[in-house]
Amino acid sequence: MHALALKLSPRRLLPVLGPLLLLALWQLAISAQWVKPVLLPAPSETLAYLLQDFAGGAILPDLWATLGRTLSAFAIAVVIGVPLGVALGSSESAYRSVEFLIDFFRSTPSSALIPLFMLIFGITDLNKVAISSFGAMLIVLFNSAYGVMNAKKTRVMAAQIMGISKWHQFKDVLLMESLAQTFVGLRSAVSMALVIVIVAEMFIGSETGLGHRIIDAQQVFNVKSMYSSILVTGALGYALNLGFLLIEKQLIHWSGKA
């Protein structure tokens, strides 16, 4: 009885309120005929289509393709971005000398570089991963570098006073100090990787992927497939972000507290 009351207490239901309201508004738009059903199917139909997509497994190859590309791009971004960022961050003059380049390309929407990458990599799967990892890498690099540069001076001094070697000051203090900011970068980077992969799947000739599925459905006016694919893409982005948040909370337990 007590447990049930706790489960159904209004506070715990608050997070569900927003989605329910959106669904209600969506249904209202259909019922009141504000939008033509041919442009926007009813939520029930869309969700039914979505379930059927998963039950029949039709969407799965596209989902795995997008997830695979996003994670490969992210992995490349981390392998290059973290060491490079930490190295640049530990030498202020090194970072200042490339700061403009990093900021410039960070401010350039990576999608604008798609034609350039097509010239280099052709219309291949590699191209999608390459451009996505490029965009994600800049975010990782920038955050890792700032994590090191903004390390608390007192902590470094404390290690220095103890007579700790330069290498251990770097490994035990600077690197640990940078982790919280690095993780902020990783979380933004995985979202960025997904965005670019989806865009690349839409516009760089593609046979698979959620981006490909969305643009294909749109071309043949299969709006139910389009909306359900959009929902799956959103859910994927949300899940990736949530996953990283949970890992961060476990690993960087001091983040925001010290």
- Which spans of this chain sit near another protein (rule: CB under 8 A)? 152, 154-155, 157-158, 160-165, 168, 172-173, 176, 179, 253-254, 257-258
CB of 165 to another protein, least distance (A): 8
Q: Nearer to another protein by C-beta: 168 or 249?
A: 168
CB of 251 to another protein, least distance (A): 10
- Ordered DSSP codes for 207-245: SSSHHHHHHHHHHTT-HHHHHHHHHHHHHHHHHHHHHHH
For residue 50, what are its two tokens?
Answer: 């979505």
CB of 160 to another protein, least distance (A): 7
CB of 255 to another protein, least distance (A): 9
Q: Nearer to another protein by C-beta: 182 or 233?
A: 182
Please state, in angstroms and rounded to a whole number, the distance separating the CA atoms of residues 36 and 58. 27
Q: Nearer to another protein by C-beta: 138 or 174?
A: 174
Please state, in angstroms and rounded to a whole number, the distance separating the CA atoms of residues 176 and 191. 24
Please state, in angstroms and rounded to a whole number, the distance separating the CA atoms of residues 250 and 60. 30
CB of 12 to another protein, least distance (A): 27
CB of 236 to another protein, least distance (A): 31
Q: Nearer to another protein by C-beta: 12 or 253?
A: 253
Q: Nearer to another protein by C-beta: 9 or 160?
A: 160
Please state, in angstroms and rounded to a whole number, the distance separating the CA atoms of residues 138 and 185. 9
CB of 254 to another protein, least distance (A): 4
Q: Nearer to another protein by C-beta: 113 or 164?
A: 164
Q: Nearer to another protein by C-beta: 11 or 166?
A: 166
Please state, in angstroms and rounded to a whole number, the distance separating the CA atoms of residues 126 and 128. 6
Tell me the H-state helices in 91-124: 92-107, 114-121
* 49 and 228 Cβ atoms separated by less than 8 Å: yes
- Ordered DSSP codes for 43-69: HHHHHHHHHHHHHHTSSHHHHHHHHHH
The count of other CB atoms within 10 Å of the CB of residue 190 is 24
